[in-house]
């Protein structure tokens, strides 16, 4: 479980998070909101990559402040992965496994799943954006930890890879994991999510199921329900 209490974060004069309170249990939770709403900042606070100005975060009832061991239980897919360009895919996989202290992990299943075999000997700067994203996903799902944080995982994926990603997420969900997902693709969110958290201007505007959001907004369509929130708050 991840528990967040009264979380605040300011960058310069911009207040990005304004008193976030959350309790996150197992399942697929989509964190939604317009650009600049605080989604990525929230994820980075959970990861310890950004330090909040106020508030607490606990993972499995342990405060994460000034700790690092808890991160071993988290697999993270960043929105933009900055890998060294001059190494091959296979060299990158080996390097990450060594850094994680899990050199015996077998990546062959994920290589086959994302059809990466033809690219293993290629340098990263010679790969398309979509292929880099598949490598990014392989590295994220390889270590099988209880918490997954996926920031815009669909970026650059072709339709076949997108189906593979959905199936993989749902398979990981069956293991009882916490899976946090940010995405602008509402059809993707609707297919995988148990709950959604909608953040607007640094505050939680809605937390619940997609059906509950539809009921609250009077919309039968999920995209229309999201649009309704944005329209109402910019009227």
Residues 45-69: tens digit of each pLDDT: 999 999 999 999 999 889 998 888 8
Task: Report, as an integer, the average pLDDT of 83-107.
Answer: 93
CATH code for the domain in which residue 177 is found: 3.40.50.300
Residue 190 above 80 pLDDT? Answer: yes
**The tokens of 177 are what?**
């994991």
Question: 233: pLDDT confidence band, cut at 50, 70 and 90?
Answer: low
Residues 140-172: tens digit of each pLDDT: 999 999 999 999 999 999 999 999 999 999 999
Query: How many structural domains comprise the chain?
Result: 1
The predicted pLDDT at position 235 comes to: 46
Could you tell me the CA-to-CA distances from 213 to 34, 122, 186, 235 in Å, in that order? 16, 45, 13, 19
**The tokens of 132 are what?**
């880099």
Residue 176 above 60 pLDDT? Answer: yes
The predicted pLDDT at position 9 comes to: 96
The predicted pLDDT at position 208 comes to: 95
36: left (phi over 0), alpha (psi -120 to 50) or beta: left
Residue 5 above 60 pLDDT? Answer: yes
**CB contact set of 81 (below 8 Å; sequence gap of 6+):** 132, 133, 135, 136
Give dist(CA 51, CA 150) in Å, integer.
19
CA 2 to chain centre: 14
Residue 234 above 70 pLDDT? Answer: no
The predicted pLDDT at position 79 comes to: 84
List the domain range (segments joined by +) for residue 46: 2-232
**Average pLDDT, rounded, for the chain:** 93
Contact 17, 9 (CB under 8 A): yes
Provide the 8-state DSSP code for 32.
Answer: E
Percent of the chain past pLDDT 90, that is, above it, reads 82
Residue 74 above 80 pLDDT? Answer: yes
């Amino acid at each position: 479980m991840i528990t967040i209490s009264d979380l605040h974060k300011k960058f310069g004069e911009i207040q990005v998070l304004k008193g976030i309170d959350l309790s996150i249990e197992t399942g697929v939770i989509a964190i939604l909101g317009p650009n600049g709403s605080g989604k990525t900042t929230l994820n980075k606070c959970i990861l310890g990559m950004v330090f909040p100005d106020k508030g607490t975060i606990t993972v499995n009832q342990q405060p994460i402040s000034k700790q690092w061991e808890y991160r071993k239980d988290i697999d993270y897919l960043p929105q933009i992965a900055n890998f060294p360009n001059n190494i091959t895919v296979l060299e990158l996989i080996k390097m990450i496994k060594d850094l994680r202290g899990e050199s015996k992990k077998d990546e062959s299943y994920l290589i086959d799943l994302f059809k990466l075999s033809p690219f293993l000997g290629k340098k990263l700067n010679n790969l398309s954006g979509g292929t880099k994203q598949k490598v990014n996903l392989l590295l994220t799902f390889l270590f099988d930890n209880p918490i997954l944080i996926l920031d815009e995982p669909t970026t650059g994926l072709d339709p076949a890879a997108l189906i593979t990603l959905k199936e993989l997420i749902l398979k990981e969900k069956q293991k009882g994991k916490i899976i946090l997902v940010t995405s602008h693709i509402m059809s993707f969110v609707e297919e995988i999510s148990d709950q959604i958290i909608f953040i607007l201007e640094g505050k939680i505007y809605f937390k619940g199921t997609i059906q509950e959001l539809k009921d609250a907004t009077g919309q039968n369509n999920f995209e229309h329900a999201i649009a309704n929130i944005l329209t109402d708050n910019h009227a």
